Amino acid sequence: MPDISMTTLLLLCLAAAGAGWIDAVVGGGGLLLLPAMLLGLPHVPAAHILGTNKAVAIVGTSGAAVTYLRKAPVDVRTAVRIGGAALVGSMTGAFFAAGISSDVLRPVIMVVLLGVAAFVMLRPAFGRAEGGGPVTRRRTVTAIVLVGGGIGFYDGLFGPGTGTFLVLALTAVLHLDLVTASATAKIVNVCTNAGALAMFAYQGTVMWQLAGLMAVFNLAGGMFGARMALRKGSEFVRGVLLVVVFSLVAKLAFDQWTG
């Protein structure tokens, strides 16, 4: 573990807890944790930051997934299938990432996110209750290909907001309420995080001691966020979703203009 002051370590742990909470409710915790690690550890290579972030995130995501599974009506079999497709998609996206400029992707993603925000605000009933009945085979296949493969590819290619996109896509494709979509997204995220972490660990770019300490706080934040989402329901998740979407747009715009 690099030489870190107690103040920096405390701030990183608090950021890990906050990221765990955001991830559990609606996804997008990386918007908080990655910038915090980059600012707090300016001399650490980016690969080690990313690897350590995955080691932290998988713990909080797993804890949130277990918390959701105890109370939310999650179709685990479907979630794992989507997760498997997302794992393959993210590996494929990572393969092509070197040849695509993020400067080209950022404006496109910003437009998509603003469209998503407008849709959620103009459709107050979106994600409030299950409206599609039992999940059909056709919708399941669509979710595996488009949600798993498509968003998984985006995660490997670019990354920011993957958890948020998962929640929105699962709500739209499988007609889930936002709480169940968040719970399902956690299982998919565990699958993708596991694959990424295995690669980072193989490359030796994980700071395990720091990750272990931060993971405790991330786990606590994740479990607390999952319980809050279950208690407060879809309207609460919807509000957090809009905050995260606008935060992501702001971050992407800042990266675009300062890049």
Residue 136 has φ and ψ, to the nearest 5°, of: -85, 165
Question: What is the value of pTM for the model shown?
Answer: 0.77
Q: CA 225 to CA 209: how far, in whole Å?
A: 25
pLDDT over 90 (residue 209): yes
The pLDDT confidence band at residue 128, using thresholds 50, 70 and 90, is low
CB 87 within 8 A of CB 152: yes
- List the one residue out of 80, 192, 81, 74 whose CA is nearest residue 145: 81
Exposure class string for 35-55: b at 16+ Cβ within 10 A, else e? ebbeebbeebeeebbbbbbbb
* Per-domain residue ranges of the chain: 6-258
pLDDT over 60 (residue 254): yes
Residue with tokens 């909080």: 60
- pLDDT at residue 163 in the model: 79
- pLDDT at residue 133 in the model: 56
The pLDDT confidence band at residue 154, using thresholds 50, 70 and 90, is confident
Residue 3 has φ and ψ, to the nearest 5°, of: -70, 115
Q: Is 10 left (phi over 0), alpha (psi -120 to 50) or beta?
A: alpha
Q: What percent of the chain clears pLDDT 70, i.e. is strictly above it?
A: 88
- pLDDT at residue 217 in the model: 97
Please compute the mean of the pLDDT values over residues 177-199 and round it to a whole number.
85
Exposure class string for 192-215: b at 16+ Cβ within 10 A, else e? bbbbbbeebeeeebbbeebbebbb
